[in-house]
């Protein structure tokens, strides 16, 4: 069995440098939270922009509540700051649609609360032992809270996309793709590889443990499916042809009159979309985004292909046949940079297909990390030997056929909250998330060598 690489910067840091790394990660997350909430006025902060989402002010205070529970109270052993609001910000007690009716902290109070919590959390970070307890080993708890905040930042970014009104978020355009033409598909040879991780210090419970998986040869799209390719499916009548849709997908499409990706609309001169308050033509060379699992599955069938399994996706993203081991990322073990992937809300859209050649896998598969979350055909479940840690509600309560796994992150995912082993999941109907896909297929006779 190949070994998971341990060339991870966290494993090589001194305790002092590890604390500095954790502090920097927490600070970057908070700067993003502040930017997303300061971009709108207090009226917009407390408004529910969609019943699919919480008011932005709920997300902000929830971030603080989780940080208080885990870093201040648990790791630090400090007295509770606001035990009276624990229930208000328990995501399992109150569905998103009901949260505006709760006696939530107002904008000023929420900002003051998260500021006070962060000050206490930094006090804890300076003194807490970073060994001898699994929760604090390699600063795991601080990494967990960083990832939690960044995940809610992406959720808040999705809320901004649903918000009506003038644009309030701005970012530079992503890089253009090089002029060279990429092959449409890549053959991934069959064989065993190591899926998941045991050594990644900040990996979450559903990424563990590492285990060996045998994946037969398959063919994978070189890049995510583009808007231009998806328009062909639309224009051919794919949304109205029952043959390409699963039974639940067709029922959902009909019931909700879904005729295109979310935020798209047809005009006499072509397809247009609304993106963070900006109305623009649908860009032909960008990966399609805001499609559900059902739409992705229908497109794949129309194209004579299928969605990849989760194991296929991870093998394409991590396995290096030259060394026989699994990498942390498609390009290697080093952390993502702006040259590797479109991450961290650096841009407010996916980049063109092929725009990050430095982030390609050894086989030449592009944009497996960043740009759009990619639907897989796999139901969300635990790996063999899975153990919930540090609480069941992060992963285990979601296991089952109701949820499909997404991989790779989006332009709204921070580098701290993504890696080759990271697993996201959602209902197959979800379209407000930054979701796209790529297709796979079985090799034709003689194609696999």
Annotated binding site for gamma-L-glutamyl-L-cysteine: 96-99, 426, 430
The whole-angstrom distance between residue 201's C-alpha and the CA centroid of its chain comes to: 19
Distance between CA atoms of 359 and 210, rounded to whole angstroms? 23
| Residues placed in the known binding site | 62, 96-99, 148, 152, 426, 430
Distance between CA atoms of 123 and 78, rounded to whole angstroms? 10
What 8-state DSSP symbol labels residue 332? Answer: B
Distance between CA atoms of 90 and 163, rounded to whole angstroms? 24
Give me the helix-helix angle, 140-162 and 56-67, nearest 10°.
180
230, 299 Cβ separation under 8 angstroms: yes
Query: Residue 191: which H helix or E strand, with range?
Result: strand 191-195
| Residues placed in the known binding site for Fe cation | 62, 148, 152
Distance between CA atoms of 373 and 448, rounded to whole angstroms? 28
Distances from the Cα of 361 to the Cα of 223, 319, 348, 350, 414, angstroms = 11, 9, 24, 19, 20
Distances from the Cα of 164 to the Cα of 32, 50, 57, angstroms = 21, 10, 17
Structure tokens at 356: 């990050």
349, 167 Cβ separation under 8 angstroms: no
């Amino acid at each position: 069995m190949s070994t998971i690489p341990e060339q991870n910067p966290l494993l090589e840091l001194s305790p002092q440098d590890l604390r500095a790394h954790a502090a920097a990660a927490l600070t970057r997350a908070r700067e993003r939270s502040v930017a997303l909430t300061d971009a709108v006025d207090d009226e917009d902060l407390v408004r529910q922009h969609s019943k699919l989402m919480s008011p932005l002010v709920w997300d902000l205070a929830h971030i603080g509540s989780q940080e208080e529970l885990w870093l201040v109270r648990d790791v630090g052993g400090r007295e509770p700051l606001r035990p009276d609001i624990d229930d208000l910000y328990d995501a399992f007690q109150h569905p998103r649609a009901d949260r505006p009716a709760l006696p939530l902290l107002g904008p000023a109070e929420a900002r003051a609360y998260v500021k006070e919590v962060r000050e206490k959390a930094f006090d804890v970070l300076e003194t807490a032992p970073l060994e001898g307890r699994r929760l604090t080993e390699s600063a795991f708890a601080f990494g967990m809270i960083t990832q939690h905040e960044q995940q809610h930042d992406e959720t808040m970014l999705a809320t901004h996309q649903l918000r009506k009104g003038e644009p309030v978020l701005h970012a530079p355009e992503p890089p253009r793709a090089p002029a060279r033409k990429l092959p449409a598909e890549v053959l991934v040879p069959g064989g065993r590889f190591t899926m998941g991780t045991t050594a990644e210090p900040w990996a979450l419970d559903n990424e563990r443990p590492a285990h060996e998986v045998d994946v037969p040869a398959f063919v994978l799209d070189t890049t995510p499916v583009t808007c231009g390719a998806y328009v062909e499916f639309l224009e051919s009548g794919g949304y109205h042809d029952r043959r390409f849709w699963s039974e639940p997908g067709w029922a959902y499409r009909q019931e909700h009159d879904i005729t295109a990706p979310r935020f798209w609309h047809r005009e006499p001169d072509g397809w247009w979309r609304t993106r963070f308050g900006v109305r623009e033509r649908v860009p032909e060379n960008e990966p399609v985004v805001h499609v559900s699992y059902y739409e992705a599955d229908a497109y794949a069938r129309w194209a004579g292909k299928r969605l990849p399994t989760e194991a296929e996706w991870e093998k394409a993203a991590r396995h290096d046949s030259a060394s026989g081991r699994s990498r942390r990322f498609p390009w290697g073990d080093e952390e993502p940079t702006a040259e590797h992937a479109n991450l961290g809300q650096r841009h407010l859209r996916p980049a063109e297909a092929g725009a990050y050649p430095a982030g390609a896998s050894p086989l030449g598969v592009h944009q497996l990390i960043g740009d759009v979350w990619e639907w897989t055909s796999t139901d969300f479940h635990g790996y063999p030997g899975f153990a919930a840690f540090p609480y069941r509600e992060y992963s285990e309560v979601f296991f089952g056929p109701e949820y499909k796994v997404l991989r790779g992150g989006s332009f709204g995912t921070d580098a701290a909250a993504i890696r080759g082993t990271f697993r996201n999941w959602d209902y197959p109907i979800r379209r407000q998330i930054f979701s796209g896909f790529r297709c796979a297929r079985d090799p034709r006779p003689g194609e696999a060598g």
